[in-house]
Each structure stands twice: as C-alpha cells, then as structure tokens.
Amino acid sequence: MTAPPPRPNGNSAAAKPSHPLTRVDVDGHDLPPSPAPSSPRNGRRRYALATELVYTEGKDQYGASSIPIYQSATFKQMTAHGGQAEYDYTRSGNPTRTHLERHLAKIMNANRALAVSSGMGALDVITRLLRPGDEVITGDDLYGGTHRLLTYMAANQGIIVHHVDTTNADAVKARISDKTAMVLLETPTNPLIKIVDIQTIARSAHDANSKSLVVVDNTMLSPMLLNPLDIGADIVYESGTKYLSGHHDIMAGVIACNDTEIGNKLFFTINSTGCGLSPNDSFLLMRGVKTLAIRMEKQQANAQAIAEFLESHGFRVRYPGLKSHPQYDLHWSMARGAGAVLSFETGDPAVSQKIVEAARLWAISVSFGCVNSLISMPCQMSHASIDAKTRRERQMPEDIIRLCVGIEDANDLIDDLSRALVQAGAVTVNLDGFHATGTAEELGRTPLTI
Ligand SMILES: Cc1ncc(COP(=O)(O)O)c(C=O)c1O
Ligand SMILES: N[C@@H](CCSC[C@H](N)C(=O)O)C(=O)O
C-alpha cells in the first residue's frame, strides 16, 4: 500500500497532544480517558448513576416494582371545594408522570424535572419564558427543528435571535447585552459534532447579565454523560425520544432546573397548554431510563470502534471519542463519554447517498439514541428544515453522513458499512483486498484497505 496522502481536514492523530488521562489497552493502543465519576454523590443521589437509574424511591400501595400506568383523565375528589386531593386532572398532574419526573430530577441533578410530549415541546415551553424584544444567543450549528422554532419566533413573536459560533466562547461573550434573555446551547452539536464550553459561556452570560438564562439541549449526551446544571446551566432539556427512552417507541421531552420560580413558570405553561407527557408514555420513558447506563456503554463502545474504523481508512470523521477531534480535551473536561452519534464525509453527496442506500443493517432514519443503528444524510433529512443557503453559510457539508450507533455487534455494523462503501463505489475490491477507487483524492480520503 502506498503512503496515505495528508488527510483532507489537515487533522493528524499523531500530532495531537495526548490527553492527560490517556490510557492504553493491553496492545498499547490508546483508549479514551477514564470517564469522570458517573455521579457526584451529593444532592439527591446516594448511589452511582447506573444504580440510581434503576433504583426508584416512589412507593406504590401494593408494592408494585414497576410504577402502574394511571390511565385516567380525571380523579375523584372528596369534596366539592377542590384542592384537597393530590391530583384532579391529568393535564395538571398524574401519578405515573410524577413518579417519572421525580426520578428524572434525581438523575439530572435537578430540583425539578418536567416531562412533556416531545423534545421540541420542551423547547417551546422554555421559550415561552421570553417576551417580545428579548434577545436569544444561540449556535450556528443547531438541530434543524430548533432552528425552525427560533426562526418562527423571530418572525412572529418579536424575539431577536443571534446565531453565533458557540464553539468560540469569546464570540458569545461579545454578543451578550442587557437584552440577552437566553443563551441556548447544544453540545456536541448535531450534526457537525462541535463542542461548546458550557461552563465558560454560562459564567460570562451570568456575569454580564444576571437575568440571562443559560439553556442547554443535552439530547446528544443524556444525563448519563453530562449534567449541564452542574456546570452553570439554568435549564436543561432533552428529547426523551432519544437515549432516555432508547427504543424509538415514544416521543417525549424533559426539562429540568434548580430554581423554584422557573420551575413553577414552566409548569404553568405545561398545564396551560396541555403538553404534559401522557401516563402511558411516562411509563415507557421510566422503563427506558432504567437501562440507559448499559445501553449507553454498548452504544459508545460500538461508536468508538466504527469511528476508528472509518478514520483509519482516511475518512474525515467527527466524533469526540477520537483524539483527532479538535476539541477533544474540552469535551472530556465536561463529559463522561463521547456518546454514540458520529458523522463523516465522503467528498461527494452522490457517493454519500449511495452508501446510505446500500446499508442494510443501518436503517435510513432520522433520530438517534436508540438500540438499533441508523444512517442518514442530515442535509436531506433531520436538518432539511434549514434552507440550503443557510446550510452553506454554516458550512454544513451536503455529503455529510450521520451514523447513530446502536447496541448490535460492532463487527456486524462494520461489515455492513464496509459492504455499503464498496457497493457505493467509494472503494473497490480486488483479488488482493479492498482498494480505493481512482477518485480517492476527489473523495477526500486516503486509499481504503480493509
Ligand atoms: C438535539 C436535538 N434536540 C431536540 C430534538 C427534538 O426532539 P423531539 O424529536 O423529541 O421533539 C432533537 C430531535 O428531534 C434533537 O436532535
Ligand atoms: N421531519 C422531522 C425531522 C426530525 S429529525 C429528528 C432528530 N432530531 C434527528 O436529528 O435525527 C422534522 O421536521 O422535525
């Protein structure tokens, strides 16, 4: 095999300084740093997070091990005066949802958690804290639905939205003013997997304007890997559709905070608009949360293997488990794992489409965080609600492929991906093995040998 040409992104794994916590396996290969302890044993948690996910404190009158689904819209009252019974109507509260919310508050290190009907529902509830004329500072690489909602609010509700490069904490700081009501962050970003320094941004936002709320979308990591409230966020939300439930069988959203007044305002909106999570979905989300640790462990191990496989064959891979990630150290200074979403580029949208369509084990689907693996082209799918011009301005490559890794056998996933790469013409197979096609350089990769 000829010496590989320089990588198209200029990244050189060898040139990167080792992370201070670098570990090696028995063969001397680098391993990701040891995760930080999974749970500070303070606040509401007594055990490590993997234990707390399973251990629930709620009591059922019959000692049921799994919280019953209180499938009731209304609740009988003892008198006509109202107010004495704990529940009156499921939009306002339901025992299954309460059980879930208390559990979520514990694992999110929050005083209060609220469960709603989707991740976007959660963001909608949070943004109702804003008033016309308020300014929001947010990223230039955002989940498409978030971009869509903010754009709607800017056009119709008098909210001023500034999109800045949130990987540059100074750029965010420069934008903060006394009109900044909210700083909305995602890390890692979806789908460019950029890392945002929550702690530094939160500090400058609060120093410059004590009223500005720092809101973090933690969907890409889940409370298993990051607790934004511990590092300066005022509100954290996530799509429970993803890792928290883990099986793509429900839509859900979760909001958590520590401030009682904010919690009450969020609850007011949920009760007023009726977007609280249904009893049945609360049950399913509760069931999913219990296996979060074990799912995440397997998903991350698979994602790491696949990221290394692709990178070792010259593809530009974006994954914070790789030392070549330009913000590797920043990510590991905040998070306890790299998650299970990665993206890579081929240099040609048509080739990317062929790869995606040739995969069998990888379902062509939006979403992530589920037990089964998914493949997608964000520009055409999850982020299609960002118009092409804006995508170009934000340097979102049209050829980018996103892999959302599940719990299957890693070798099966790699074999299927290899086959799809070959079938798509991204590589060719000769008698003596796999070789790059003649257009390797055009495709922005080194020759592939497997
Ligand atoms: C980062 C991120 N935040 C929020 C959402 C919204 O979640 P949901 O689909 O549950 O509304 C999604 C995906 O949909 C997402 O990827
Ligand atoms: N058609 C949907 C697309 C949902 S994308 C889901 C998920 N966040 C992802 O990133 O894959 C829409 O219009 O919102």
Helix ranges, 157-219 (H):
169-175, 198-208
Q: Residue 92: which of 276, 221, 280, 227 has the closest Cα?
A: 276
**At a CB cut-off of 8 Å and minimum separation 6, what does 28 contact?**
none
Domain range enclosing 411: 293-436
Number of domains forming the structure of the chain: 2
Q: What is the pLDDT of residue 430?
A: 52
Q: Give, using CA atoms, the residue closest to atom 3 of ligand 2.
A: 382
Residues 403, 374 share a domain: yes
Rounded CA separation 215/264 (Å): 16
Q: What is the pLDDT of residue 439?
A: 41
Answer with the residue of higher pLDDT: 7 or 216: 216
Residues 325, 314 share a domain: yes
Query: Ligand 2 pocket check: which of 146, 150, 190, 366 to mutate, most ligand atoms within 8 Å of Cβ?
Result: 366
Residues 403, 348 share a domain: yes
Q: Is the CB of 366 under 6 A from ligand 2?
A: yes
DSSP secondary structure of 122-133: HHHHHHTT--TT
Q: What is the pLDDT of residue 208?
A: 92
Q: What is the pLDDT of residue 429?
A: 56
Q: What is the pLDDT of residue 323?
A: 97
Whether the predicted pLDDT of 104 surpasses 80: yes
Residues 334, 310 share a domain: yes
Residues 272, 228 share a domain: yes
**What pTM, to 2 d.p., does this model score?**
0.88
3-state secondary structure of 429: strand
Whether the predicted pLDDT of 440 surpasses 60: no
Q: Give, using CA atoms, the residue closest to atom 9 of ligand 2.
A: 367
Cα separation values, 157 from 7, 118, 133, 214, 385, Å: 46, 22, 9, 20, 19
End-to-end CA distance of the chain: 11
- Contact criterion met (CB below 8 Å) for 201 and 195: no
Residues 355, 283 share a domain: no
Residues 219, 111 share a domain: yes
Q: Indicate if the alpha-carbon torsion angle 368, 373, 376, 381 is positive or negative.
A: negative
For 11-63, the pLDDT digits (tens) are 333 333 333 333 334 444 454 444 444 444 345 678 999 999 999 877 788 98
Query: Ligand 2 pocket check: which of 382, 383, 385, 405 to mutate, most ligand atoms within 8 Å of Cβ?
Result: 382
For residues 225-247, average pLDDT:
98
Distance 23 CA to ligand 1 centre (A): 34
342 domain residue, yes or no: yes
Gyration radius from the chain CA atoms: 23
Q: What is the pLDDT of residue 22?
A: 37
Q: Other C-beta atoms within 10 Å of 27: how many?
A: 5
Q: Residue 4: which of 428, 439, 429, 441 has the closest Cα?
A: 441
Q: What is the pLDDT of residue 17?
A: 30
Residues 351, 215 share a domain: no
Of 290, 310, 327, which residue sits at a domain end? 290
Residue 70: active-site member: no
Residue 328: active-site member: no
Of 273, 290, 307, which residue sits at a domain end? 290
Distance 271 CA to ligand 2 centre (A): 26
Q: Is the CB of 118 under 6 A from ligand 1?
A: yes
Answer with the residue of higher pLDDT: 265 or 63: 265
| Catalytic one of 134, 140, 197, 217 | 217
Whether the predicted pLDDT of 1 surpasses 80: no
Q: Is the CB of 382 under 6 A from ligand 2?
A: yes
Tokens representing 362 are 């990888």
List the beta bridge partners of residue 162: 137
Burial (CB count <10 Å: 0-12, 13-18, 19+), residue 223 = buried
For 305-355, the pLDDT digits (tens) are 999 999 988 889 999 999 999 999 999 999 999 999 999 999 999 999 999
Mean pLDDT, all residues of the chain: 87
For 73-88, the pLDDT digits (tens) are 999 998 888 767 899 9
Rounded CA separation 322/328 (Å): 7
Q: What is the pLDDT of residue 132?
A: 97
pLDDT band at 425, cuts 50/70/90? confident
321 domain residue, yes or no: yes
Whether the predicted pLDDT of 117 surpasses 60: yes
Tokens representing 294 are 């074990």
Q: Is the CB of 190 under 6 A from ligand 2?
A: yes
Of 269, 290, 311, which residue sits at a domain end? 290
20 domain residue, yes or no: no
